Amino acid sequence: MSDILQTIKTLTEINSPSGNAEKAIQYVKETVEDIGFSTELTNKGALIINVTGDNQEQQRCITAHVDTLGAMVKEIKEDGRLAIDLIGGFHFNAIEGEYCEIQTEAGDIYTGTICLHETSVHVYKNNHEVPRDIEHMEIRIDEKTNSIQDTKDLGIEVGDFVSFDPRTEITQSGFIKSRHLDDKASVAMIIELLKKIKEENVRLPHTTQFYISNNEEIGYGANASLPDNIVDFIALDMGALGDGQSSDEYTVSICAKDSSGPYHKGLRSQLVQLCKMNDIPYKVDIYPYYASDATSALKAGADIRHGLFGAGIESSHALERTHIESIEATQNLLYAYCMSPILK
């Protein structure tokens, strides 16, 4: 598991908010090509790896995404600080006090901290009552800037991307905690699978397109560039944990339904049977406020059977955490699924 954990750590430390994921895509591209697979980039910047299998008439697509939550400079304030607009589905309370980086159009990087304007309890008595929203949250830049012009002189402008410090740690007890495990943990699993396929000269039963998307967090990641002969479409993405959920950090989570509706019953049943046949610990769950690249593909008109499974991720879209047991279970199901026939 050490290789995959290191790959996850490397990926999480590459800033890639939706709309600015080129560096992460390039890392995956170079890594996969070093393994020995050819790749192609789509017009919108996603990465496709085609692995030829025995059956080329009925093919699979397996997707994971490297894009993450982030923000964008909305306004330079009178005192030189920055108001921000969020990228992706989360709230300001999830990033209060977080260190961040601002990337200018010229490529310069500045650091800062995301703060409540009324942070100091020595000045603002009731600051705990102040709403954490776009009017009160801001970036305190780590530069001598006290005016709009001071900040502009740094090259910072409206529209510059803001990335959050992932704070990735791997504990002795087997946990990995970090921002952006959604969905860089899954991308790392695909990389490890491709290593196994190449090193062991594995022949897949079906030609499989591995699609590394770069816009999933904003709703249109892997919903295009799909060949007509794609039959099954799997979104390899996180399992959502919390009250009322059956998923945990030690099993693979198989999604039965999310906010878009039920996933394909037959494909879900196949995933469950593969877990039972291969002694893979699993949980079936419903994610009430969730959507994936698989649902985006259906909404775009793809005629596919769609499914979703992934590692159980605690505190999704905030300071996330999972355990190596969940990663291992997910890896095992991914391999078992890729080696199984497509069922109709």
CA dihedral sign of residues 286, 290, 294, 295: positive
Q: Of these residues, 216, 249, 314, 320, which one is catalytic? A: 216
d(CA 23, CA 164) in angstroms, rounded, equals 15
Distance of CA 312 to the CA centre of its chain: 13
Quick check: 29 and 47 in contact, CB under 8 A?
A: yes
d(CA 91, CA 81) in angstroms, rounded, equals 20
- What's the token pair of residue 186? 């899954």
- 65 appears as a binding residue in the annotation: yes
In angstroms, what CA-CA distances link 183 with 10, 95, 199, 215, 335?
Answer: 13, 18, 25, 11, 18
- Give start and end residues of each alpha helix (H) in the chain: 2-12, 22-35, 148-153, 181-199, 265-277, 293-299, 324-338
- 217 appears as a binding residue in the annotation: yes
Whole-angstrom Cα Rg for the chain: 21
Q: What is the length of the chain?
A: 344
On the 0-12 / 13-18 / 19+ scale of CB atoms within 10 A, 172 is exposed
- 182 appears as a binding residue in the annotation: yes
- 317 appears as a binding residue in the annotation: yes
Active-site residue flag, 199: no
Which residues does the annotation mark as catalytic? 216
Binding residue positions for Zn(2+): 65, 182, 217, 237, 317
Which residues contribute to the annotated binding site?
A: 65, 182, 217, 237, 317
